[in-house]
Chain A
Amino acid sequence: MTKSIHLTLAAVGVLAVAACASGSGGNGGGSSSGPVGVVQIAAYSGDQAFEAQFSASIDYPALYAVNHGGGVLGRQVSLIQVDTRSDPADALAAMGKTLATTGNVAAVLGPDSTSAATLVPLLNTRHLPMMIAAGEAAYDRSSYAYLWRDVPPDPANGEAIALWAKRQGYTSVATVFGTDTGSQGDLPGVLTGVKAVGVRLADQENLTPDQPSYRSSVERLLAAKPQAVITESDGPTAATFFGELRQLGSLLPIIGTSGTPSDSYFSPLRGAIGDAAFGTYFRAVVVGNPVSNPAVAAFNADVLAVQGKLSKPVSQWENNSFSESGYDAMITLALAMDAAHSTDGTAYNNDIMAVTAPAAGKEIVYTYAAGRAALAAGHKIQYIGASGPLLFDKYHNSFGSQAVEKFPANAPAVVVGTITQAQVQALNG
């Protein structure tokens, strides 16, 4: 018994010494020289490891833009990756360790849906401005001063899809959603939206991911005779389901949510139903900028500049609205720091709104370099990003219009329709 107590105490002592020895314990942009740290919180391992490639498509182009545009206050920005391991407990430990051992954290990209509930209060207390990637409607009316969101909440995308379906003249639709995390997020919005626009919901299929066959679900769907299918799931599930649908000779219009455009979804699905059918039947309603502006060109150029660090094929990231939103978020944070002449969240948090809100007399900029130069010259700026203008409301939420896109083979996406923020909000009454 005595021996084990000694062993335990020794072990605790070792841990304490190791932990103390490895960090200065600072937090929140306290240092004033050396690189500026931006934390990216995402799942780099575990069930949601697919987040890693999306994060890469945001971080590296944005970092490139900022660092090659002169850096923040003359300092380079460095990326600090925090792995949630797809689990809130691991996310908390990893964030804690990062805050304990890294003294120059100035801003946070994230948290994601898995870790938001656990990490948002912590980061807010630390006065670390965060651009969250969590779509939960809970943050629509957030009271956290340091929380910002430039992607629409999950329900908004679903409602836009319903509006598009109505616009196309469909009177009955079916939903096909995977039961995995990430696919279910949009479903409540779709259901509310479909009901609100008066389209009939003929069938609802919930698919357990990665089964070898969904024949029964496919047959049931066809028996309900919908005119279109609204869907989100992971790639393999979609490939199996729609592949079987095609085998029966019964493909019909498919509307994917904003979570669908990515190679990991398109590639299996294209393989299963063929490129021609994919171009004809598949549409996705994506959040983001349907109009080309100089920021989009800058984004695409930056993506190509860092393509060595991104998942192949690189073309999936060009014009990718989710990546564009994250890219804009990082650039906004950097511009806010420049405007406030500080990397301390307490000082620059309010400048986030200041550099993005439209007002008379402001200089409009589309790239980091231009914005930094304008600020240095003493002008007030409005940054318009690759995902469009960032119009943060009083709850620090901004979401713009959503685009309906089709995807011909070997060609970039083509926008075939737009649904505005106003139209979506009208649905909510």
Chain B
Amino acid sequence: MSFYASTLIVYFFVDVLLAWALNLQFGWGGIPNFALIMFQAAGAYAAAVVSLGPDTGVNSFQRYVFGASLPFPLPLVIAALTGGLLAAVAGSFSLRRMRRDYQAAILLIVSLIAIQVVSNAVGLLNGSNGLTGVPRPLSGLLSGLTYDGYQWVYAAWAGAIALAVYLLVARLGRSTWGRALRAVRDDEDAAATIGLNPLGLRMQAFVLGGVIAGLSGGLLVEFLAAWSPAAWGYAETFAVFTAIILGGVGNIWGVALGTLLVQVIFLQVPTFLPQVGYTGLIDALQWVLIGTLWLVCLAIRPRGLIPARRYHAVPPAPGPGTGNPR
């Protein structure tokens, strides 16, 4: 029981990070990032290949690039950076001003291309078999712990990272930068008129979201010890979208609540139901349920359970040298 609970808690923190990344990109930045899961995958793969040792060539049982056996916490840092780098590359051609439906379609296609490339270029990241045997961080140092004990340490570690990201994201939300970003989202022309740089702001949000998504990938792969293309199909991004739409687009807490409701409760509860039809039927129907939930949300509560808060400008405190009107 404790093992199940600690596993779900780790998953919750990983998913919340992903949700905050999407909230940054889509909730505040207005970028419909249907390639979100690709950034998590990039981070996961990066962390995996730098923590594994070098592969043994063409005939080894798994083939991949790098293989540097780096110790904790370097793989996580590299995971985050990789997510950001990929976001910069993807952003270079998908963040221009364009209709949001085109943008969504293009980003979706980018993630489909990524899956094809990774699955077919077997030497790169071991193709569709994925990578396995990724070492758990500090398992040597913490070898005195029981298996369950290590899980709880990991859950606490994931929680700490989530807290740090929360503080960062909350601060960004309150800041001038956050307001500027939302201004660009709401009316790009007006924002440009007052001197904001829409493309630059969007790129910053996109890259930062990519960094957080990459971090969540690194965190997850070090927990699971394995990663493969099956973990990042295009449908996975929808689960995150559902979470943030249900919980409240643009609101950090809403998005966290949505993640809890969708990723943890909604996707785990059906496993407790008695089996109906063939084994695997209920699991296959879960995506149908997610799609239906989406439609219902869009029809009834498009702003989510906890709507976006209004950020008010905080007037500068009276005192010398604060004459700056901004």
Contacts and interface: CB of A to CB of B under 8 A. Distances in A.
B107 interface: no
Interface of B: 1-5, 7-8, 11, 58-62, 116, 119-120, 122, 127-130, 132-134, 146-147, 220, 224-228, 230-231, 251, 253-254, 256-257, 260-261, 264-265, 268-269, 271-272, 278-281, 283-284, 305-306
Given A49-B280, A125-B146, A89 B231 contact: yes
Nearest to B233: A47
A93 B8 contact: yes
Contacts, number: 162
Contacts of B253: 1, 4-5, 8
A93 B129 contact: no
Nearest to A3: B306
B230 A114 contact: yes
Nearest to B236: A87
B134 A117 contact: yes
A114 B280 contact: no
A92 interface: yes
Interface in A96-135: 96-97, 99-101, 113-118, 121-122, 125-126
Q: What range describes how many residues of A lie at the interface?
A: 35 or more
A387 interface: no
The 7 A-B pairs with the shortest beta carbon distances in the complex, nearest first, are: A44-B280, A45-B280, A96-B4, A25-B1, A117-B132, A125-B147, A117-B226
A96 B11 CA distance: 13
Given A4-B254, A179-B120, A22 B230 contact: no
Given A81-B279, A117-B134, A19 B4 contact: yes
Contacts of B271: 93-94, 97
B7 A92 contact: yes
Contacts of B7: 92-93, 96
A206 B62 CA distance: 16
Interface string A76-94: 0000010101111100111
A411 interface: no
Given A14-B265, A138-B132, A191-B59, 19 more contacts: A15-B265, A25-B1, A45-B280, A45-B284, A81-B279, A83-B280, A83-B283, A87-B228, A93-B7, A96-B3, A96-B7, A96-B8, A118-B226, A122-B3, A125-B146, A136-B132, A138-B61, A154-B61, A179-B127
B132 A181 contact: no
A132 to B, nearest CB: 13
Label chain A's interface by main secondary structure. helix
A7 B257 contact: yes
Nearest to A48: B230
Contacts of B230: 46-48, 86-87, 114, 181
Contact of A89 (B11, B129, B133, B305): B11
Contacts of A180: 119, 128
Interface in A330-363: none
A296 B134 CA distance: 39
A171 interface: no
Interface string A384-413: 000000000000000000000000000000
Nearest to A135: B61
Output the residue of A47, A48, A87, A114 with the most chain B CB within 10 A. A87
A184 interface: yes
Interface centre among B5, B220, B224, B226 (most CB of A within 10 A): B226
A11 B263 CA distance: 13
B120 A208 contact: yes
Interface centre among A44, A45, A115 (most CB of B within 10 A): A45
Given A87-B230, A179-B119, A181-B230, A15 B264 contact: yes
Given A19-B1, A97-B271, A184 B120 contact: no
Nearest to B58: A191
B275 to A, nearest CB: 8
A278 to B, nearest CB: 27
- Interface centre among B122, B128, B269, B272, by most A CB within 10 Å? B128
B261 A11 contact: yes
A184 B3 contact: no
Contacts of A15: 8, 264-265
Given A117-B134, A154-B61, A181 B128 contact: yes
B227 A88 contact: yes
A22 B1 CA distance: 10
B279 to A, nearest CB: 4
18 contacts: A11-B261, A45-B280, A49-B280, A89-B220, A89-B231, A96-B3, A97-B272, A114-B228, A116-B132, A116-B226, A118-B226, A121-B147, A136-B62, A154-B61, A179-B119, A181-B129, A188-B59, A206-B120
B279 A11 contact: no
A45 B129 contact: no
